Amino acid sequence: MKLIAEEIIDVNFLTEESNGKKSHFIEGVFLQGELTNRNGRLYPIQTLQREVHAYNESYVSTGRALGELGHPDGPSINLDRVSHKIVSLKQEGNNFIGKAKILGTPMGKIAESLLAEGVKLGVSSRGLGSIERRGDVNVVQDDFMLATAADIVADPSAPDAFVEGIMEGKDWIWNSGNWKESTITAVKGSIDNADVDQLTEKKLKAFENLLRNLKI
């Protein structure tokens, strides 16, 4: 599966005070379904409903729905880059409205400082899945899995290789609760270059190597 990211810059940054203590939040549309976005991709609403439901149950309700500052290069959460915690994610029509609290982590403090200086920030969802071309639209398939509903990003134009949604040459597979990067290209190359009489042996060896690389 490929790493897919979508950015939304039209979000609000709020300050709430309770018992004399101020907390900072991000609030707005985190995910959108049934809409061809500026990356030319469309997410079926049923796929997002399923993933948001699972994300709420597994992460939001347990206080583990974390996001990072910047553009991570993989699907897993890097704890040293965590800047906020998503506290709610609810459907409104074809949109999913989220709210996240900025944390007092090093990255959270950087996000707060940027906001205080008037820097325009946005959010970027992150997930894994495959894409099928249908006419002029790339439709995200039913195998899509939401990794995080929102990372905080500063540049809506971002690196093309990431914002376009495909990290070329990298595929990701789920293994024992962790995402593992798989060098599928190398495996394919080995098989494609094999002689006919070596094909079965090459396939078996490639599969054995893949299993070996998956071990933690």
**Per-residue tokens: 85:** 């915690």
Q: Tell me the residue length of the chain.
A: 216
| Annotation marks residue 124 as catalytic | yes
Number of other CB atoms surrounding residue 205 within 10 Å: 15
State what percent of residues in the chain have pLDDT above 70: 71
Query: Among residues 83, 84, 124, 125, which one is catalytic?
Result: 124
* Phi and psi torsions of 25, nearest 5°: -135, 155
Is 176 considered catalytic here? no
What would the two tokens of residue 72 be?
């991570």
Amino acid 215: pLDDT: 44
Q: Round to whole Å and give the CA distance between 82 and 22.
A: 19
> What's the mean per-residue pLDDT of the chain?
81
Say if CB 151 and CB 6 are below 8 A apart: no
pTM of the full predicted structure?
0.73
What is the SS3 assignment for 146?
strand
Please tell me the predicted confidence (pLDDT) of residue 39: 86
- 6 DSSP β-pair partners: 125
Annotated catalytic residue: which of 24, 71, 83, 84? Answer: 71
Is residue 157 over pLDDT 50?
Answer: no
Residue indicated by tokens 């890097």:
78
- Amino acid at position 192, single letter: D
Alpha carbon distance 187, 202 (integer Å): 9
Q: What pLDDT digit, counting tens, does each position of 72-109 carry? A: 888 999 999 999 999 999 999 999 999 999 999 999 99
